[in-house]
Structures are given as structure tokens and as C-alpha cells.
Amino acid sequence: MADRLDRLVGESLTAAVHTRTAPLEILAWEAPGEPVPFADAACQRYAPFAVGEPWGRPWSTLWLRVRGTLPGEWPRDARHRPEVVVDLGFDGLMPGFQAEGLAFRPDGTVVKAVSPRNSHLPVVGAEIDYFLELAGNPGIPPESHWRSTRLGDRATAGVEPLYRLRRLEIALVDVGVWELLQDIEVVRGLAEQLPADGPRALQLWSALDRMMDAIDPDDVSGTVLVARRALAPALAAPAAASAHTVLATGHAHIDTAWLWPVRETVRKCARTFSNALALMDEHPDFRFACSSAQQLAWVKESYPGLFARIREKVASGQFVPVGSQWVEPDTNMPGSEATVRQLVHGKRFFLEEFGLETREVWLPDTFGYSAALPQIMKLAGVDWFMTQKISWNQTNAMPHHTLAWEGIDGTRIFAHFPPIETYNAELSAAELAHAERTYRDHDAGTVSLAPFGWGDGGGGPTREMLAAARRQADLEGSPRVRLGSPGDFYTAAIQEVDELPVWRGEMYLELHRGTLTSQLRTKQGNRRCEELLHEAELWATTAAVQAGTGYPYDALDRLWKRVLMLQFHDILPGSSISWVHREAEADHTAIVRELEGMVAVSLDALRVAGEDGPLLYANATAVWLAGVPPHAVAAPADPAGAARFEETADGWVLTNGIVRAVVDRRGLLVSLQGPDGREAIPAGEAAALLRLHRDAPGKWDAWDIERDDLRHAVDLTELEQLGVVTEDGAVVVRCVRRFGSSSVTEELTLAPGRAAVDIALDVDWQHRGRLLKLMFPLDVHAEETRSETQFGHLARPTHANTSWDAARFEVSGQRWIHVGEPGYGVAIANDSTHGHSVQRRTRTDGGTTTMIGMSVIRGPRFPDPDADRGRHRVRFSLRPTANIADACEEGLRLAHPLRPVRSSRPAEALVTCTDPHVLIEAVKLADDRSGDVVVRLYEASGGRRRATVRASFPVAGVQRTDLLERPLDPPVGASEPSSVAFELRPFEIVTLRYRRARVG
């Protein structure tokens, strides 16, 4: 029967959808370079163009002018619908990954888009007159995995046309035939999901058999109503009372960049959102969720008329802003304040543009989720969280689909993982059956979420998907489908359970571990921009309060938004085409230049003397550095203990009165002792050892690191050069290692007064399919490691007792990692590394070696075949006899080196804290431009603390606020607002807003 049905659909019904066609006049103009606005394209000289002609050089834009008249003899009744049908040369498989088009009326009004599964345009009235902007985007299948492509860079993509216009004409749709095809799709799809010998499946196949008997292939139009009546009873049977409910919300996960550049995403947004608006006009109950403030901001700027229509649909409740963030970012690598600002800028955009406060974080496709997020979300006014990416885990499945997620501080937030396990659902019977089978909480809940619509490359929902939703709204054998918004789902789900199961800690994605390392330049640029944004805000605020200078509100707002955009989960993770990363690197460079200028202007405003004044130093960190107080400008302390070295038969001994280090003739660190004299490196082993691993993921090249590849490695011990010198009072061991076409210059430095050995790698990287790690064997019996995350740190076991532990063979960290046993620890800090591995083994002497492998650089072939080729500089520090506070200090020292300032007067910190374990993360002026000073701080040790925060400027009042700087209850109870005492729970975040007192 299935073969007979396939033939009927393919041979007769599909062809009968369009009963008549008529030609259109086609004229064309090709944009000479990058895309142009409609107004520019509309006034160009167009030349004749015909169906069958080639078009579409990679990344080019072709504009068509399409005109015609609806034939007068065509019927105009409810059974027929005229439309323009377009085939740009589609392969029919993946919307968003090939050619696309956007239709405009002659007045510039956006109509809707055309793509492989949404290839029609409306006909209103008798005259047709459209401009079509065709994007010649090359198809780069994500399933290329490891096969190199040159299509990701316009300079190497070629100039030959990729497409041929196959169809562009007016067609008359037989509505009944189209509806019959939707009926068949649902009935057959459901029958294939049910037990073949069960009564419901047999009834469905029988109904299909009767339908095929009723339809006349030679008179499809005349017999279609009879055929539909044959299927009607099967489609009218209601679902069981116990059937699961799927809350279906329209969606289009548009990657802000991936296999296309950012500029193309702007156009994808216009295409997708216009499609959604067109469906809303036809289906008032349809809801479409849009999760990225940045994408709507682009539409507001580039397509103001379309944005005005979006506003109307937001007001009607059909277009639903969700997500609360500026983009859908990576959550492991962005720092503390950047994670906050994603929510601040995202929520504020939705509030200012639509008057709506979004209540969810919506991250369907991000590669793992930081354990700091629950508290940060709550402090931004978020109630719940959604992702489906966690279903991609290679080893372990999450035990629940609806649960409470507990962060490092104890905050819990409602979380949901749609059991349909895709954010690109078509609402097919197979997908719905999968959702019902997969859902793990049937004992407590009856509803799950299903985001439906073409995504990744955009496109969104289609009329076929809505037809499927309607037919499966209440259908025997299927989950019930209800159209609604994400808020409708949350309201229904939260009411079903009295107590949710709890997941504590990070949501580690057991996949895509390589994204912590791919595209090092992009990651370094992000880290440096974050550091400079912190410094620019701090010193601009200090200058505004102490010197009365203006505050660069507009510039900081603009730069923050650009940095946040570049944290999108296919940009910062390094998984985009070459074009994207070259632009990101250029953007980061420009941002760094502007922020450095901003810092210089602020520090200059704080100076009292000119260039001949004494040399002071500006400390932008929350800890004392070289005797300079936190967030102040002051004279440094004289370093104690000069660094010196002694040559031995086996190498060199470096000392400075605090640390003793031994470097052997291979240039490797074979001994390290702190002030207590305890040895940090096991006998016979070497730290700061470069290890080259094989790196050949089976599928996702830029994304993955395979466990087996970590077992295949070569230690790089051969030397090309080795020498020891003294520079600026420090001892530097410098060695050059060459391996194949790549080389590394490694410097081990012991400076006066330093409690750590500093390590710098200058890498000339040319390898493909290799992973370079920097190895640190440590003589520490560590049951767990502690790695910095946003506003705290995360503990992970060093053992592999369970499959969950074993799956964490490459994990994320930010500026430092600490390993310790009672009374002793070692810290490793970095300036731009995010991925690391940890192994523990028992030695023959009975001791324990904890091996830390810091992932430095990779060489993936896809999607950027030249990822990270070239020169890089990466810095680390290794500190023995270190506690958590020492680890924090090392990370901050690398992030914010002291800045020299010529001034005869120190600049006092605006705000200080009495407890060194409570760190001030941000100092800024309030976003509402009131002049209030906003200070964000957090408990950093993981313990309960009592601290007093003191302001050095006149204060009229102080409030505790949420992350959007809105007052929280209860108010701060302080008789003297310039001095506020707090008790903080472990890792608690506190934001204080100071109203400055008028002076004089």
C-alpha cells in the first residue's frame, strides 16, 4: 500500500496542486559587491532575464523585477488561490543553507521570503509587481564535518554561478488538492508510528486505501472532495484522555553567524520575520517566538517598515519576544560581567521597544551551560530556562525534561528540555511520537514544548506545519498539539508539579568540547575586550566622580553590544566560516583600540602632574597587586627578593626568595617549590611540557575533541635553541621547539617578588588535525579541581567513577584552575585558554599525580580550513602553595596588568570592601544616566562572609538592585549609606546603587 500511495502522491496529486500557470515578465540587476538597500536597487537599470538562466556567484546578490497580470479567465472562488511560484534552483532539502529571496512591493514594503519549503508569494488583485532580492549564498552542508571548503571566504569561493532559475510564474492552486496532501501526510505519518498490527494503525491504512479508491488520477480536482471525506473519520477520532500535550510555538533559530557572515544574518532575519508575519495575518492563533534582541535591532535599523509591523504583532500577542539576551551566546567562555550584560541589554531592548519584560532564557543550541547561570538569571528577573542541545549528549541522557536547575550559589530556576529534541520541528507525526516516547516525566507532567519552524539558517514556520498542527490538535494515537507561546507552556507546566526534581551544577554538554579551543584569535579578542570594558567603565567612573569628567555612555553601550554579539554560540566557540572569524578579529582589534583610548583619557583626567611626575600605577583589579590597592592609582611597593639563577650540570636553578624552580637542559620545569618548601612536581616528571595530540573528530571538526585522540600524543622535548637571560630583574629561560611546519618559543620567567612562574608561548601554528596542550603534572592528591566560572568557581571530581565523570574528559574554565588537598594547593592561571583536561594516577611510590592539560590551539579543517594558522602568544602562570584566593589573584594579574601613570597624587578607589574574599567585579555609572554609581560584587571563595562596603565619595543613599539596576526588597538598612555591612552566602552576587550627594 505504501508504494501505491507514493506513486499517487508523486505522480498525480503533487502535479495537480497547480491547475494552471501563466508567465511573468522578468528583469534583472546584479549588485556589484555587497548587498544594497531596496531604495538603491529599485532605481537601477534592469535587463531582461529568463527562466533557465544561471545566476548566483558565491555570496552575490541578484535583484529581479517581476511583473504580470492575473489571467481574467481564471476562476475566482474559495476552491482556488492564485500565487506566484518561485524556484531559484533549490535543492529542496535544507532551507537557510542555500539560495534565498525576499520580495518587496514597488514602494519598498517587505512582503515575504522564498526558500525551498516556502516558495510562494501572494497575489492580491489582478496585477503582480514585485522586486525580488536573491541571495546567492553557497550551500555549505553542516554535515561536511571535516571536509575542507573554500566557500566560506569570498576571496576563495570562486566566481561561477551556483544556481539556475528554474521557475518564476503565476500558478492557480487547487486548495482541495493541497489540503488532501496535508491530510495524507498526517494520516500516513501517524500510521507509520503506531504498532503495525494495532487497531489504530490498521484503521489509518484502511482509510488511506479508501481514499486512493476514491481519487481519480485523471480527474483529481473533480474527486478530491470525495477522497478527503474518506479520510475524515480517521482524522476526527479524538486523542486518549491520557495523551501527552505538545505546546507548539513557532520559532526560527537563526544563527547570528555560522556558515554565512553576519551581514547575511541581517537579511535572514528580514526574510524569516516577514514569513512569520504573513502567517499571522492568515492564522490569528499562531504564535512566533523571537529570542535575540540583536536580530530585532538589526531589523529596526535596516527594515524600519518591517519592524513597525512586528511592533503591531507584538502588541496583539502573536509575535512573542523571548530569551532575555542580546544574542544566544556561549555561556562557558564569556566572563562574569559579559554574562550579566547579555541579559541587561537584551531585557532592556525588549522593555524599551515593546514594553515587555521577558521571563525566560532561551538557548536551544548553546554548547553547555554554566552553573553560574541560575543566580544570574534570577537577578535579571528571569523565571525559567529552555534548551534542547543537552539532548545531544553522547554518553548520558538527562534524567528529566522538566526540573529545577540549581546553580553554584544554591539558586534554583525552572528548566525545560523539549523532548521533541529539535528546535527545527515540522510537527510531523514522527516528531510528535518521539516527544511522547522520550518525555521522562509522565508521572508528574502532561505537557512539553515544541519549537517548530525551519531554523539555523532561518525560514521559520510554514503553512504546511500549521496544517499539521491543526490536524493533530486532538487526534487518536498522537499527542495533542496546542498552538501557543513559550509563556503559555511555562504557565501550564509550573502548575502541574508541587516539587520539581533538582539538577545541581553545570549542564555539561557531552559533545562539542573542541569549541573551547578552536579559533584562538577570536577567543583572545573577546577576553581582551571584556577586560578593557571593565577598565574603561572603572576609570571613566572614577574620573567622573573625582574629576568631574563626562562619562562615555553612548560609546560604552555601542561597544558592549558589539562584544556581546561576537559571543554568539557559533562565533566565540570558533565554529563558523573563515569570513566570520576574520571579521570578528578585525572587530575585536578596533574595539580594543577604542577602549585603550578611553582608558587613557580617563586616567589622564586623574593625573595631577604632567610627564615629569612620579610613576604611579593604576590597578584595575579587585585585589592588591605589587602593593597597589584594588581599583586605585598608587605607588607600588618595592619587590622583595631579587630573581637570580644558578647553572648546574643538569640545568638551572631559579630563585627569588619566594619560589625555587629548576629547569633542565630540555627547557622543562622539573622542580617547583613555594615558600613552604614543598615540591609541586612529581619526581621524574616535567611541567610546562608541550604535548601534540592527534585531533581527528569523526564528525564535527571545529566542534569536537575525541577521547581516543587524547591517548595519541607526542611530547615536544626536542630543542632548536635554549638560553637563560636576565631581563628587568627577572630570570627568563627561553627555548625554541620546532615540530614539522610549526614552532613554539617558550619562555619560563621568575620575576622579583612573584610567587609564581610565568610562562609565555609564542606559537607559529601551521598544523591541521592536531591539538597542542601544555601539560602540568602536579604532586597533589586532589579529589577535585576548582575552575573559575562567572562569579565563582566550579568543583569537578578528578576521578571517573561514573559515566558522567568519565564524559568530562575536556572541560571549561575561565582564568584559573586550582587543585588542592588539605593544607596545600597549586594554581594555574591563563590569559586566553578555556579548555583543559584532568587525569589522576597513582605512582609507584604511592603518591598521586594530578595531570592538568591546558588546551592551547587546534587545527580543524571545517568550516574554516585555515583556522588559527599563523602566530599567537599565550600566557600562563603556575603558582605553588596556592589557595583559591591566590588563584583569583593570578587570573586577575594576567587579565589586568598594572598601568603606569605619571601623577603626583594617587587616586583613591571609589569603593572598597573589608573582606578580601568578596571581590568587586564592576564599577560603573547607572545606565539611566542619573549619575548614580553602580557597584557589583560577589563572594568568591565559596564560603559565607560578612563584609562592609565603603564608598570614598559623598553618598546620599544606597540601594540594593537587580542586574537592571532596579531596587530590590528589602532596602539596605544602613544609617550611614557610605558604609554598608552585608552577610553573603557562598558565591552570592550583590549589586549596589549609590546616589551621590551634592557637594557645596
Is 676 designated active site?
no
The identity of residue 451, as a single letter, is P
CA distance to 571, 689, 774, 842, 880, per residue, from 686 (Å):
35, 6, 11, 16, 15
- Secondary structure string (H, E, C) spanning 280-340: HHHCCCCCEEEEEHHHHHHHHHHCHHHHHHHHHHHHHCCEEEEEEECCCECCCCCCHHHHH
What does the alpha-carbon distance between residue 323 and residue 334 come to, in Å, rounded to a whole number?
Answer: 17
Residue 298: other Cβ atoms inside 10 A: 22
User: C-alpha cell of 577?
Assistant: 566560516
Question: By the 8 A CB rule, do 231 and 207 touch?
Answer: yes
The HSE-up count of residue 352 (CA atoms within 13 Å, CB side) is 12
Cβ contact 52:163 at 8 Å: no
Scanning the structure block, which residue is given the C-alpha cell 488511506? Answer: 208
Q: Are 746 and 680 in contact (CB under 8 A)?
A: no
Q: Which residues contact 981 (CB under 8 A, 6 or more apart)?
A: 946, 947, 948, 949, 974
Q: What is the dihedral of CA 338, 704, 811, 668, to 10 degrees?
A: -110
C-alpha cell at 363: 538557548
CB 888 within 8 A of CB 919: yes
Given phi > 0 = left and psi -120 to 50 = alpha, else beta, which region is 651?
A: left
The 10 Å CB-count burial string (b at 16+, else e) for 710-741 is beebeebeeeeebebeeeeebbbbbbebebee
Beta carbons of 463 and 103 less than 8 angstroms apart: no
What is the enclosing helix (H) or strand (E) of 773? strand 770-778
Instruction: Please tell me the number of Cα atoms within 13 Å of 285 on its side-chain side.
Output: 12
What are the φ/ψ torsions at residue 226 (nearest 5 degrees)? -65, -40
What's the distance, Cα to Cα, between the start and end of the chain in Å?
Answer: 92
Compute how many other C-beta atoms are within 10 angstroms of the C-beta atom of residue 609.
12
Q: Which three cell numbers stand for residue 113?
A: 521570503
CB-CB neighbours of 502 under 10 Å: 11
Q: Where are the alpha helices (DSSP H) in 399-519?
A: 429-438, 463-471, 486-494
Set 174, 183, 255, 365: catalytic member: 365
Computed over its alpha carbons, how large is the radius of gyration of the chain?
31
Catalytic residue numbers read: 365
